[in-house]
Amino acid sequence: MKIIVANAPCYQWQGQPYQEDSILWAWRRSGSRWSHSIPNSLGGYHQYPFMLGYTTSYLLENGINAMMLDSVAARHTYCQFFSIIEKNKPDIVITEISSGTLQNDLQIAKKLKDFGTTVILTGNYATVNYQSLLKEYNFVDSIIRGEYEKNSLQAAIDWEHNKLEKYYDYNIFQNLDELPFPYRDDNLIWLYLDKVSGTAGQNQKSGRKIFIQSSRGCAFECKFCDWQVLTDHKIRKRSPESVGLELDYLINRFGNEIFIYFDDDMFNFGDKRTRLITDELAKRTLNWGFLGRIDTNNIDTWKYMIERGLKSASVGIESGDQEIVNEMNKKLDLTEALKMCQAISKDIHLHLSFAHPEDSTEEQRQKTYDFYVKSGAKSKSESMMVPLAGSDYYNELKLKGKTDKDIEFDGYKQLLKNQDISKLRSIKSDDLR
Ligand code: SF4
């Protein structure tokens, strides 16, 4: 049997297709905490899709002929995507769907079904809305809820015995050290870039950045975040030794001029573990960065990391207005966060998310810009807060009677929509900071 674990393409035209003044928007889905579209001409932002990579390697380890197909990173057209499917003739395609790409994803699922393939949907949106999806779309054979390594294998076994379940409820790895290292495609590995965060990684001699994960699950419950849907609110951390083994594997495979980027839920939670992983990196004299929080290490640990190869850290601040931060349930003290940013300064990238346009005022936005300027951070990225399926924000809107059709899920396009759209064709990635 053959399984393709896919990140299918999703493009949307703004304006008439192929016209001079039209823009092709390309969506980011798997691997991104925040599915959104950017003008296709920009490229340059592809986060490594950990679930695809881990599921592929786990299936391979268990004797299943699995293939990872990341058509988003490869920037495949729809024709290319389907010709790969046609050529490989998979028995099963497992593919993530997301809030913003739903209609596109359902059309793809239907077409996959027309090819005679068993279609299994997964991802946060499918996890939350599995019942309605199964009821409404008969081309959906099954849905896997939450992290999907174990359930993909179970579905493969069940498929072989003609016993595929309609859905597979959460069955996640408790001990992450037991997972094989994620599958990394030689043809795509250097396309995984995040030019708007972890900026120092882009300036390394080799520019070779590798995403790695040291934990899953998060202790916080930010209102806009849908990450808990995938992880079922379960916090798990790899041992520093296991991370060290993966670093050795990566160095052996790609050389030691790689830039390691931890795209984690809880990489820097707690000083002791953070320092132990830092030691693993320092032993191998690697340059590295991470996505994390500003307030979960003391200043001595930040200095410890910087002295041992840390080149950049991306942290979520979201807003410079404490009330908004509280409303987002970010549980972040802005006064303390500002002091910490100033103490660390040059290597920090801030993630800023404006509140939903209905709640956001110029004064609040100004406070956010002021925070950025005062922080001394090296760079920032901005987005609109969107109610991703499964987040508290989404659930709140549902309770108010909103349907998915009423919601704008693309936080980046929303931010840009009031700008002169013609400029987007020549926008540089630096402009996104
Ligand atoms: S800190 Fe907040 S935004 Fe970050 S993963 Fe945790 S819940 Fe999500």
Give the pLDDT score at 412.
64
Determine contact, residues 196/43, Cβ cutoff 8 Å.
no
Which of 267, 288, 293 minimizes the C-alpha distance to 210?
Answer: 288
pLDDT digits (tens, 9 = 90+) for 35-80: 778 777 666 678 899 999 999 999 999 999 999 999 999 999 999 9
Domain residues of the chain, as ranges?
A: 2-174+423-432, 193-399
Are 11 and 25 spatial neighbours (Cβ–Cβ below 8 Å)? yes
The predicted structure's pLDDT at residue 150 = 98
Mean pLDDT of 266-281: 96
Ligand 1 centre from 218 Cα, in Å? 6
Q: How many CB atoms lie within 10 A of CB 47?
A: 22
* Per-residue confidence (pLDDT) for residue 243, from 0 to 100: 98
Task: Please choose from 220, 391, 392 the residue to mutate so as to test ligand 1's pocket, defined by most ligand atoms within 8 A of CB.
Answer: 220
Ligand 1: centre distance to CA 186 (Å): 31
154 pLDDT above the threshold of 80: yes
Question: Do the bridges between strand 287-292 and strand 258-263 make them parallel or antiparallel, or are there none, so unpaired?
Answer: parallel
Question: What is the structure's pLDDT at 100?
Answer: 86
Distance between CA 123 and CA 233 in Å, rounded?
15
The most confident of 16-20, 369-373, 389-393, by mean pLDDT:
369-373
pLDDT of residue 422: 39
What pLDDT sits at residue 203?
Answer: 45
329 in ligand 1 pocket by Cβ < 6 Å?
Answer: no
CATH topology classification for 2-174+423-432: Rossmann fold (3.40.50)
Q: Write phi, then psi, for 37 (nearest 5 degrees).
A: -115, 150
Around Cβ 14, how many Cβ atoms within 10 Å?
16
Please compute the mean of the pLDDT values over residues 6-22 and round it to a whole number: 82
Residues 88-118 have pLDDT tens digits of: 999 999 999 998 899 999 999 999 999 999 9
Length of the chain: 433
Residue to mutate, 33, 221, 222, 326, ligand 1, most ligand atoms under 8 Å from C-beta: 222
Measured between alpha carbons, how far is residue 405 from residues 133, 397, 402 in Å? 15, 12, 8
Answer yes or no: is the C-beta of 218 below 6 A from any ligand 1 atom: yes
- The rounded mean pLDDT for the chain is 87
Ligand 1 centroid – CA 222 distance (Å): 6
User: Residue 281 pLDDT > 60, yes or no?
Assistant: yes
The CA 192 to ligand 1 mean position distance, Å, reads 22
Which of 3.30.930.10, 3.30.390.10, 3.20.20.70, 3.20.20.370 is the CATH number of 193-399? Answer: 3.20.20.70
pLDDT tens digit sequence for 315-356 = 999 999 999 999 999 999 999 999 999 998 667 889 888 766
Give the atom of ligand 1 at the shortest distance from the alpha carbon of 219.
Answer: 6
Residue 229 CB less than 6 A away from ligand 1: no
Q: According to the model, what pLDDT value does residue 418 have?
A: 44
For residue 43, with 0-12 CB atoms within 10 Å meaning exposed, 13-18 middle and 19 or more buried, which class applies?
Answer: middle
Report how far ligand 1's centroid is from the alpha carbon of 416 (Å). Answer: 24
**Please, are residues 57 and 35 in contact by the beta-carbon 8 Å criterion?**
no
Task: Say which DSSP state 95 is in.
Answer: E
Are the C-beta atoms of 370 and 348 separated by less than 8 Å?
Answer: no
Contact 100, 35 (CB under 8 A): yes
266-279: burial string, b at 16+ Cβ within 10 Å, e else: bbbbeeebbbebbe
Strands 23-28 and 36-39 come out as antiparallel
Phi, psi for residue 284 in degrees, rounded to 5 = -100, 10
Mean pLDDT of 284-307: 95
**Residue showing tokens 């708007």:** 196
> 301: which 2 tokens?
């640990």
**Residue 293 C-alpha to ligand 1 middle, in angstroms?**
9
Instruction: Decide if pLDDT at 423 tops 50.
Output: no
Q: Tell me the whole-structure pTM to 2 decimals.
A: 0.91
Choose which residue among 197, 215, 226, 227 to substitute to test ligand 1 binding: the one with the highest number of ligand atoms within 8 A of its C-beta: 227
